[in-house]
């Protein structure tokens, strides 16, 4: 391809973009409205995605603090305690563990009940009813891995009971998975709606310029040349709508961040939603541009084919 041909192509594209920008500037109100529609449609799934994604991260953070409580039998002696501790030390799935002896647990219980009405009942107990216990932190935070480790520890001789509360994590994980599927479904519906809206907008522009298109065909203009300005219009609608969606998304996050931080403080976390998510922002802009281009392409191809030269 020669330099002259490349220069001509670039000139055609530059003229098409300049023409589209001029039309958008002359119809600023309608341009803003179509971009706002695109922004809102892209912002809705973006908000839910950020919520689900960061709730999932917060859940993982809380799962990291999940412990397996290992209670020994009441008659377990020091030898049994040492054997169990040796087994725990060799277990590759255990990150760390802490032993709370029955004497330590009994002392802590009495201190906590010192200002409680049950203090008298506690003092009347003839002996310590609490067992020795190990509190174990696993390396994996996955509910399935924790359940397997719990069952393995439960089978150790001298263990009375192993407790692990992962049901909440499983339920929340299921809800988050369902939420992601709902987001994809809503995003698909909104994308179809945008295709229709952008397609109708471009089709109306084509109808208002029907005479120009007919003249262009008469002088030998190709369909690709005629389509070019309308395709750039769809791309620019998508680009501006995507940028506006990011601005709206940041404003929404800024408004809700205070409540999110209050929730995270309940779990001793500094978790908060970032105002700008690079990967999500790029995805929104690219998706908006593609939808704008596709809607324009479908509309202009069908409309140009329907225009007959008489």
Residues 199 and 52 in one domain: yes
Residues 50 and 179 in one domain: yes
Q: Which CATH number characterizes residue 149's domain?
A: 3.30.70.3040
Query: pLDDT at position 239, please?
Result: 93
- Distance in angstroms (rounded) separating the CA atoms of residues 67 and 165: 8
pLDDT digit string, tens, across residues 37-72: 999 988 888 888 877 776 666 655 555 556 788 888
Residues 275 and 224 in one domain: yes
Residues 261 and 298 in one domain: yes
Which of 164, 193, 217 is the last residue in one of the domains?
164
Tell me the three state secondary structure of residue 76: coil
Residues 122 and 71 in one domain: yes
Residues 188 and 285 in one domain: yes
Residues 34 and 146 in one domain: no
Residues 193 and 292 in one domain: yes
Residues 48 and 133 in one domain: no
Can you give the residue range of the structural domain that contains 178?
3-62+170-306
Q: What stretches of 65-166 show up as alpha helix (H) in DSSP?
A: 78-90, 102-112, 119-123, 143-154
Report how many domains make up the chain. Answer: 2
Which of 114, 134, 164 is the last residue in one of the domains?
164
Residues 232 and 148 in one domain: no
Residues 11 and 131 in one domain: no
- Contact assessment for residue 170 and residue 143, using Cβ atoms and an 8 Å cutoff: yes
**What are the structure tokens assigned to 305, written together?**
């084919």
Which of 111, 134, 164 is the last residue in one of the domains?
164
Q: Rounded to the nearest 5°, which phi and psi values hold at 231? A: -65, -40
Residues 103 and 209 in one domain: no
DSSP string, 154-172: HTSTTEEEEE---HHHHHH
Q: Residues 6 or more apart from 151 whose CB is under 8 A from it? A: 162
CA proximity to 268, closest of 65, 89, 95: 65
- Listed as ranges, residues in the chain with pLDDT below 50 are 118
């Amino acid at each position: 391809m020669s330099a002259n041909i490349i220069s001509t192509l670039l000139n055609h594209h530059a003229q098409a973009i300049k023409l589209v920008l001029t039309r958008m500037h002359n119809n600023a109100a309608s341009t803003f409205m179509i971009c706002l529609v695109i922004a809102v449609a892209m912002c809705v799934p973006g908000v839910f995605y950020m919520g689900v994604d960061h709730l999932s991260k917060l859940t993982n953070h809380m799962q990291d603090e999940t412990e397996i409580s290992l209670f020994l039998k009441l008659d377990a002696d020091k030898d049994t305690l040492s054997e169990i501790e040796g087994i725990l030390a060799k277990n590759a799935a255990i990150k760390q563990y802490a032993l709370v002896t029955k004497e330590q647990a009994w002392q802590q219980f009495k201190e906590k009940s010192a200002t409680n009405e049950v203090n008298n009942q506690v003092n009347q107990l003839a002996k310590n009813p609490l067992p020795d216990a190990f509190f174990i932190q696993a390396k994996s935070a996955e509910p399935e891995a924790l359940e397997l480790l719990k069952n393995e520890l439960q089978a150790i001789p001298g263990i009375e009971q192993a407790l692990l509360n992962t049901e909440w994590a499983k339920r929340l994980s299921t809800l988050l998975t369902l939420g992601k599927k709902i987001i994809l479904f809503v995003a698909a519906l909104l994308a179809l709606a945008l295709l229709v809206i952008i397609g109708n907008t471009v089709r109306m522009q084509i109808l208002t310029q029907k005479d120009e298109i007919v003249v262009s065909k008469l002088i030998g203009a190709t369909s690709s040349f005629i389509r070019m300005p309308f395709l750039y219009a769809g791309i620019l609608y998508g680009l501006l709508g995507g940028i506006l969606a990011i601005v709206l998304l940041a404003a929404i996050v800024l408004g809700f961040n205070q409540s999110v931080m209050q929730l995270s403080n309940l779990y001793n976390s500094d978790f908060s939603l970032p105002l700008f998510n690079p990967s999500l922002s790029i995805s929104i802009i690219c998706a908006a541009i593609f939808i704008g281009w596709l809607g324009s392409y479908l509309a202009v191809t069908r409309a140009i084919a329907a225009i007959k030269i008489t």
